[in-house]
Chains A and B, each alone.
Chain A
Amino acid sequence: MGLFGKVSFASILQRIFGKKHARIGIYGPPNVGKTTLANRILRDWTGDIMGSVSEIPHETRRAKWKKNVRVENGNSSLMMDIVDTPGIATKVDYKEFMNMYGLTRDEAKQRAKEATEGVIESIKWLEDIDGVVLVMDATQDPFTQVNVTILGNLEARNLPVLIAANKIDAEDASPATLKSAFPQHPVVPISALTGYNAENLYSTMVTHFSKKRKRRR
């Protein structure tokens, strides 16, 4: 047994210099798996879930959050408030919900109206969080304007970002493309659906979001 017994050097550093509590937003465009990931995190650490998921975009149209989720990484841990945000988009067309997903006109219009409100809510939440898990679909082009805008906002505020390269269980997934596109941020390949590599995500969340930073507004 070493000088500090079973307590690791990293956990001592975290206790002295690190954060104990952080509000973490789960962000990204619609249909990349934000709520699936939020459900995965909550199921693994609290036994609860965040909300329903659907193949129809904009299923989450109001931000939902769960307080005091303790995520552990060996001897260190971080208490988090997890905020699952509605997908951010630059356009919302109710006809897409009708033509591609078979919703009635009234259902589609209602969904579109709520989706626009959800986008606004997501953007407003950016002012109240300490860090972000930016979820990207590893089968899609990463250079979307929504990704660029979210990253630009977080970098300007000096907030820590962790990119979850989701859907790596899909055949055409390419997490390496995301890593080379955003080398300035940690990128963790994951399947929120199957839980593949979730342990790696959790350990990166604890180490990355524990660091104290001076926030800019």
Chain B
Amino acid sequence: MIKKDKGIAVTLVSRQKLGGLSPSEKLKFIIKEVRDGKILVLEQGLTPFEQAKLIEHTMKEIEEDTFIGIEMDGYGEERPSFIQRVFGIVKKQRMTVIGPAHLLKTVHKDSDMIETMIIPGRGV
């Protein structure tokens, strides 16, 4: 029997995976994974409405000694140029990283780069 290594899972989620889920399924999936202690890197992030809903759901899920919330960092929608819009290219969400707030900490973010650290033992 292979013994499972204990560690912190970082899951890269493709746009196809999230794109195949309804908005409520997406939120359920993210909350479940994050509550299980996983860190998710979404290839295509959430819409602003989904982000707000995720914060709302997170607040409902907070439990004093087991779950203090999420750390989330991403960017606003990628704005297509005039020419792109003429050819029907629509706004796209950009990469987003989400994890449990007791593990994940954003140390730097600018317009093109997000730097995070995994620090076990923060908070709970």
Contacts of A112 in B (CB 8 A): 62, 64
Contact, CB under 8 Å: A93 / B123: yes
**B120 near A: Cβ within 8 Å?**
no
7 CB contacts below 8 A, A to B, read: A90-B71, A91-B123, A96-B123, A112-B62, A124-B56, A145-B74, A149-B51
**B59 near A: Cβ within 8 Å?**
yes
Contact, CB under 8 Å: B47 / A156: yes
Q: Bound complex: CA of A148 vs CA of B47, how far in Å?
A: 11
Contacts of B49 in A (CB 8 A): 153, 156
Proximity bits, A120-160, B CB within 8 Å = 1, else 0: 10011010000000000000010111001101110110000
Name, among A91, A119, A126, A156, the residue most crowded by chain B CB atoms within 10 Å (CB to CB). Answer: A91
Proximity bits, B99-124, A CB within 8 Å = 1, else 0: 00110000001110000000000011
Chain B interfacial residues counted at CB < 8 A: 29
Contact, CB under 8 Å: B64 / A149: no
Given known contacts A145-B72, A148-B74, A93 and B52 CB-to-CB distance under 8 angstroms: no
Contact, CB under 8 Å: A126 / B68: no
Interface size class of A (residues with CB under 8 A): 20 to 34
Q: Bound complex: CA of A40 vs CA of B105, how far in Å?
A: 34
Given A92-B69, A149-B55, 16 new contacts (CB under 8 A):
A89-B69, A90-B55, A90-B58, A90-B72, A93-B69, A93-B102, A95-B123, A119-B55, A119-B59, A124-B56, A145-B74, A148-B76, A152-B51, A152-B76, A152-B77, A153-B52
**A198 near B: Cβ within 8 Å?**
no
Given known contacts A148-B76, A149-B52, A91 and B64 CB-to-CB distance under 8 angstroms: no
